Amino acid sequence: MRRSMIDPCVLPTLLFALLLAPGSSQAQATQAGAAKSSSALSPELVSAKSALAKYSDPLVAIRDGYFSTVACIDFPKGAVDGPIEYPPGAMGVHFLNTANIGPQLDPAKPQVLIYEPDGTKLKLVAAEWFVPAAAVTGDKSPAIFGQTLAGPMAGHEPIMPAALRHYDLHVWLWKDNPKGMFTSTNAAVKCDPKAPYTHAEGMHH
Segment 65-107, tens digit of pLDDT: 999 999 999 999 999 887 789 999 999 999 999 999 999 999 9
Q: How does pLDDT run across 47-66, given as a tens digit for each residue?
A: 999 999 999 999 999 999 99
pTM, entire model: 0.81
Q: Do the beta carbons of residue 166 and residue 120 sit within 8 Å?
A: no
- What average pLDDT is seen over the chain? 84
Q: What is the pLDDT of residue 10?
A: 43
Q: What is the pLDDT of residue 86?
A: 93
Q: What is the pLDDT of residue 84?
A: 85
Asked if the model's pLDDT at residue 37 lies above 50, the reply is no
* Strand 67-75 versus strand 198-200 pairing type: parallel
Q: Do the beta carbons of residue 180 and residue 33 sit within 8 Å?
A: yes
DSSP β-bridge partners for residue 124: 115
Point out the least confidently predicted range of 19-23, 107-111, 136-140. Answer: 19-23
Q: What is the pLDDT of residue 201?
A: 87
Of the chain, the percentage scoring pLDDT greater than 70 comes to 80
Task: Enumerate residues 6+ apart whose C-beta is below 8 A from 65.
Answer: 1, 2, 97, 98, 99, 100
Asked if the model's pLDDT at residue 108 lies above 50, the reply is yes
Asked if the model's pLDDT at residue 119 lies above 70, the reply is yes
Asked if the model's pLDDT at residue 24 lies above 50, the reply is no
Q: What is the pLDDT of residue 203?
A: 59
Greatest mean pLDDT among 82-86, 128-132, 160-164 lies in 128-132
Asked if the model's pLDDT at residue 16 lies above 80, the reply is no
What is the SS3 string spanning the chain?
CCCCCCCHHHHHHHHHHHHCCCCCCCCCECCCCCCCCHHHCCHHHHHHHHHHHHHHCHHHHHHCCCEEEEEEEEECCCEEECCEEECCEEEEEEEECHHHCCCCCCCCCCCEEEEEEECCEEEEEEEEEEEEHHHCCCCCCCEECCEECEEEECCCCCCCCCCCCEEEEEECCCCCCCCCCCCCCECCCCCCCCCCCEEECCCCC
Point out the least confidently predicted range of 75-84, 99-108, 133-142, 147-156. Answer: 75-84
Q: What is the pLDDT of residue 138?
A: 87
Q: What is the pLDDT of residue 11?
A: 44
